């Protein structure tokens, strides 16, 4: 009996030793600390909760100047770290916090997660869920403790949580036991969710929970209660969402006027630190529930709890609310064009550029000083040997780049940034490389680190386009003489630099005719897509009499333009009718037995276009037949041409009615436009005219009259 007791004790003690050793030798925990992103020191920022069961602590990482908040790293643990009195969350001001979170690498086996908590619990640093003998991982160190299966209402459950609090949970383990046998096991909060998630609510509010009655019939009829939790603003995913062995970035933005907290998860790439879209939700926060005394302040921190399973829960802070509010931005400028180069834009090869990293101190409780800049400069740019740092207070410094390797520059700001000295701009200048093909330059992330704040800045993703010399030649000479009504075709050849891989179909021709831009066109592949040859045809209808000026240049896909070639198209002048009405009428008239004049309608049109050289003359003649009916009856009356001097009968003998002289300005003469009711062609009826419908043929003849 004693032997068995001794053996049992021996085995038990051995298990404890092995368990303790496993925690200490947790390679995931060690690797997490070795791979911790750049953060800040947590000294005087966070302090562990004062409950006797609290296992949380501030630990060192392998990243210089960076400490981590270790919330949990073992089984059956409660952990809580809270802000110090000097670093409470100010609810009266807009605040921003950013951090990196780690949830281990156990995937589906992970448990249980952690929570970011804002609280005004009267217990302060001792705030904790009211556990019994066993810590419930389901609580994540903040929610109510559901271990009483006889509890039918949510008030006592809510009272066991951290009071006057708002929590954003990062839940890696689904608690979905909903049978009678599991009632009171604190394992049912997540019954309506399908996977790991982020969600928020008020742990100390009865409305956060719902009690569900569960029953059994065998072996003895019985019933009990389990609780589910309302998950607001949920962001859900599969088991790679949280416990995937990666650090995850979180940004919190508090809008004091709207009383809203926006949280954005995975908004930075864990490998590069580069900004990305992330997953975002916005919570409306009822301040009466977390700040009932209207202090405007709230303690904040991280909590966690584990049961029979665990994960490593760690937090690295980048930005502490209210401590230092700073921002870093980049601006790339093409100095040749004076244009800013943004995401997706183009910087031409050989162009001068300036790249600015601008650090801005917005506000905070402390100055941002001893800021260490670790800058990763974009590739495919050649940098001048000296960079400059310019401060808002007028101080400046030079930075030598003579020994720069892999485009990395490290420097420390010599001036602190604060309310009196708000900005520092680090400027690099140089020239874009001379390339033979377009090259995409990926975004690079740079970090600016101090013990009280870390910010990052990304350069844009842009393209360096080659600067090429394109030479355009005319294979049609400089001019051509055409007959009227003939199209003109220009034959061109564009020559590109040797070694550049461009084809006809890559090139765009920009034509201009007589100062008016014509439609661009893509060069045809033809028989040889690399020939550089093309034809451009100008339709006869587009040409005016005399000299027409056609100008062309060619553009490659990189925005390089060739020289402009001018081609003159000479078209002889012409004298033509621009418009003549095919049918014209006189007004319907009632016969009175008296002589009368019949007015023209408005469908008469005679226009003359003269595009000949200045001084050329023309004359207009008219002839006409007698007006007759369809059966041959002649109208009693005559068609006359009236001008200011005389009245003449229109007959089949040509009569000159107008003449003119060209001014070489593409003159248009509106013959009818100069007539009134008593001028031009007028129809006069005799008193014996007989009713009927009469027609006649009027012929206009335009003569090119010699000098």
Q: Each residue of 333-346: pLDDT tens digit? A: 999 999 999 999 99
* 224 close to 176: Cβ distance less than 8 angstroms: no
Whether residue 644 has pLDDT greater than 60: yes
Q: If DSSP codes are grouped into helix, strand and coil, which group holds residue 274?
A: coil
426: tokens are 């680090």
Q: Which helix (H) or strand (E) holds 290?
A: helix 287-290
Predicted local distance difference test score (pLDDT) of residue 662: 86
Predicted local distance difference test score (pLDDT) of residue 613: 79
Whether residue 15 has pLDDT greater than 50: no
Peptide bond before residue 219 is cis, with ω within 30 degrees of 0 = yes
Indicate the range of 13-22, 367-376, 409-418, 672-681 predicted with least confidence: 13-22
192 falls in which pLDDT band (50, 70, 90)? confident
| Backbone phi, psi, residue 541, to 5° | -65, -15
Q: Half-sphere exposure (CA, 13 Å, Cβ side) for 442? A: 6
Q: Half-sphere exposure (CA, 13 Å, Cβ side) for 120? A: 16
What gap in Å lies between CA 638 and CA 622, rounded to an integer? 14
Whether residue 491 has pLDDT greater than 50: yes
11 falls in which pLDDT band (50, 70, 90)? very low
Is the backbone of residue 278 left (phi > 0), alpha (psi -120 to 50) or beta?
left
Long-range contacts formed by 27-35: CB under 8 A, 24+ apart: 28/104, 28/105, 28/106, 28/245, 28/312, 29/73, 29/312, 32/102, 32/104, 32/247, 32/312, 32/314, 33/59, 33/60, 33/61, 33/62, 33/68, 33/314, 34/61, 34/62, 35/62, 35/247
Whether residue 17 has pLDDT greater than 60: no
* 430 close to 381: Cβ distance less than 8 angstroms: yes
678 falls in which pLDDT band (50, 70, 90)? confident
The average pLDDT across 596-611 equals 91
pTM above 0.75, yes or no: no
Peptide bond before residue 112 is cis, with ω within 30 degrees of 0 = yes
Q: Each residue of 108-161: pLDDT tens digit? A: 999 999 999 999 999 999 999 999 989 999 999 999 999 999 999 999 999 999
Predicted local distance difference test score (pLDDT) of residue 72: 96
The average pLDDT across 228-240 equals 96
Q: Each residue of 408-461: pLDDT tens digit? A: 999 999 999 999 999 999 999 999 999 989 999 999 999 999 999 999 999 999
Q: Which residues pair with 126 in a beta bridge?
A: none
Q: CA triplet 500, 506, 512: central angle to 5 degrees?
A: 115
| Backbone phi, psi, residue 262, to 5° | -100, 125
Q: How far is CA 296 from CA 85, 256, 660, in A?
A: 13, 10, 93
Task: Please provide the average confidence, as pLDDT, over all residues in the chain.
Answer: 92
Whether residue 10 has pLDDT greater than 80: no
Nearest one of 437, 552, 424 to 493, comparing CA atoms: 552
Q: Please tell me which residue, 18 or 456, carries the higher pLDDT value.
A: 456
Whether residue 2 has pLDDT greater than 70: no
> Cβ-count burial of 706 within 10 angstroms (0-12 exposed, 13-18 middle, 19+ buried)?
exposed
What gap in Å lies between CA 202 and CA 289, rounded to an integer? 8
Residues 6+ apart with CB under 8 A from 498: none
DSSP label at residue 110: -
486: tokens are 């003939």
Q: Which helix (H) or strand (E) holds 28?
A: helix 27-34
Q: If DSSP codes are grouped into helix, strand and coil, which group holds residue 31?
A: helix
Instruction: State the distance between the two ends of the chain, measured CA to CA, in whole angstroms.
Output: 146
517: tokens are 């831009």
The average pLDDT across 168-175 equals 97
The average pLDDT across 560-575 equals 93
What is the percent of the chain with per-residue pLDDT over 70, rounded to a whole number?
96
284 falls in which pLDDT band (50, 70, 90)? very high
Q: Each residue of 511-532: pLDDT tens digit? A: 999 999 999 999 999 889 989 9
Nearest one of 160, 153, 173 to 131, comparing CA atoms: 160
Neighbouring C-beta atoms of residue 48, cutoff 10 Å: 19
Predicted local distance difference test score (pLDDT) of residue 16: 31
| CA dihedral of 624, 630, 632, 636, whole degrees rounded to 10 | -60
Beta-strand pair 339-341/381-383: unpaired
Domains of the chain as residue ranges with CATH: 47-318 (2.60.120.200), 324-465 (2.60.40.740), 471-571 (2.60.40.10), 575-705 (2.60.40)
Beta-strand pair 297-305/113-119: antiparallel
Nearest one of 373, 368, 371 to 387, comparing CA atoms: 373
* 515 close to 544: Cβ distance less than 8 angstroms: no
Neighbouring C-beta atoms of residue 387, cutoff 10 Å: 23
49: tokens are 């909760």
Q: Which helix (H) or strand (E) holds 14?
A: helix 2-24
Nearest one of 497, 477, 491 to 533, comparing CA atoms: 491
> Cβ-count burial of 9 within 10 angstroms (0-12 exposed, 13-18 middle, 19+ buried)?
exposed
Q: What is the CA radius of gyration of the chain?
A: 45
* 610 close to 618: Cβ distance less than 8 angstroms: yes
Predicted local distance difference test score (pLDDT) of residue 527: 80
């Amino acid at each position: 009996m004693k032997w068995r007791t001794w053996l049992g004790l021996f085995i038990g003690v051995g298990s404890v030793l092995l368990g303790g050793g496993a925690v200490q030798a947790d390679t995931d925990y060690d690797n997490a600390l070795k791979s911790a992103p750049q953060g800040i020191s947590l000294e005087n920022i966070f302090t562990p909760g004062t409950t006797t069961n609290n296992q949380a602590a501030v630990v060192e990482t392998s990243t210089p100047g960076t400490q981590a908040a270790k919330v949990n790293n073992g089984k059956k643990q409660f952990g809580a770290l809270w802000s110090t009195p000097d670093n409470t969350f100010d609810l009266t001001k807009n605040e921003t916090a950013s951090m990196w979170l780690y949830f281990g690498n156990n995937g589906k086996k992970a448990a249980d997660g952690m929570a970011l908590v804002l609280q005004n619990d009267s217990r302060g640093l001792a705030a904790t869920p009211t556990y019994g003998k066993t810590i419930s991982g389901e609580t994540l160190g903040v929610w109510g403790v559901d271990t009483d299966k006889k509890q039918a209402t949510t008030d006592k459950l809510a009272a066991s949580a951290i009071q006057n609090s708002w929590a954003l949970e990062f839940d890696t383990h689904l608690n979905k036991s909903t049978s009678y046998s599991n009632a009171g096991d604190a394992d049912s909060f997540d019954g309506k969710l399908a996977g790991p998630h982020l969600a928020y609510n008020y742990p100390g509010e009865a409305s956060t929970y719902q009690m569900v009655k569960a029953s059994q019939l065998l072996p003895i009829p019985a019933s009990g209660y389990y609780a589910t939790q309302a998950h607001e603003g949920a962001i859900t995913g599969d088991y790679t969402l949280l416990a995937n062995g990666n650090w995850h970035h979180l940004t919190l933005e508090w809008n004091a006027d709207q009383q809203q907290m926006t949280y954005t998860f995975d908004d930075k790439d864990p490998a590069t630190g580069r900004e990305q879209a992330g997953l975002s939700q916005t919570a409306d926060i009822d301040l009466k529930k977390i700040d009932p005394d209207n202090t405007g302040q709230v303690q904040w921190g991280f909590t966690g709890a584990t049961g029979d399973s665990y994960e490593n829960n760690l937090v690295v802070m980048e930005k502490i609310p209210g401590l230092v509010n700073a921002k870093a931005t980049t601006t790339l400028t093409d100095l040749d064009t004076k244009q800013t180069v943004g995401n997706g834009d183009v910087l031409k090869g050989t162009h001068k550029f300036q790249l600015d990293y601008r650090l801005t101190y917005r506000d905070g409780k402390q100055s941002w000083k001893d800021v260490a800049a670790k800058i990763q400069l974009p590739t495919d740019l050649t940098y001048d040997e000296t960079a400059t740092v310019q401060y808002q207070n007028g101080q400046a410094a030079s930075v030598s780049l003579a020994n720069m390797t892999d485009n990395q520059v490290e420097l420390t700001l010599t001036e602190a940034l604060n309310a009196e000295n708000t900005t520092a701009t680090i400027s690099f200048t140089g020239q874009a490389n001379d390339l033979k093909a377009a090259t995409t330059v990926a975004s690079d992330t740079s970090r600016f680190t101090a013990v009280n704040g870390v910010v990052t800045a990304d350069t844009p993703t842009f393209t360096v386009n080659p600067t090429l010399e394109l030479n355009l030649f005319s294979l049609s000479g400089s001019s051509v003489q055409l007959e009227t009504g003939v199209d003109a075709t220009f034959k061109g050849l564009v020559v590109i630099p040797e070694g550049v891989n461009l084809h006809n179909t890559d090139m765009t021709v920009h034509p201009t005719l007589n100062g008016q831009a014509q439609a661009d066109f893509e060069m045809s592949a033809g028989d040889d897509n690399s020939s550089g040859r093309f034809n451009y045809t100008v339709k006869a209808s587009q040409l005016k009499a005399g000299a027409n000026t056609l100008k062309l240049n060619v553009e490659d896909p990189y925005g390089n333009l060739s020289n402009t070639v001018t081609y003159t198209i000479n078209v002889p002048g012409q004298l033509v009718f621009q418009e003549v009405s095919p049918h014209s009428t006189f007004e319907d008239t009632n016969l009175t037995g008296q002589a009368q004049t019949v007015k023209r309608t408005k469908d008469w049109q005679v226009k003359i276009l003269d595009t000949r050289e200045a001084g050329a003359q023309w004359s207009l003649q008219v002839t006409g037949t007698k007006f007759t009916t369809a059966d041959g009856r002649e109208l009693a009356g005559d068609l006359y041409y009236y001008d200011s001097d005389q009245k003449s009968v229109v007959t089949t003998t040509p009569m000159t009615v107008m003449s003119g002289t060209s001014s070489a300005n593409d003159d248009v003469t509106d013959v009818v436009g100069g007539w009134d009711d008593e001028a031009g062609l007028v129809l006069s009826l005799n008193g014996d005219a007989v009713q009927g419908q009469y027609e006649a043929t009027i012929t206009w003849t335009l003569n090119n009259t010699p000098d």
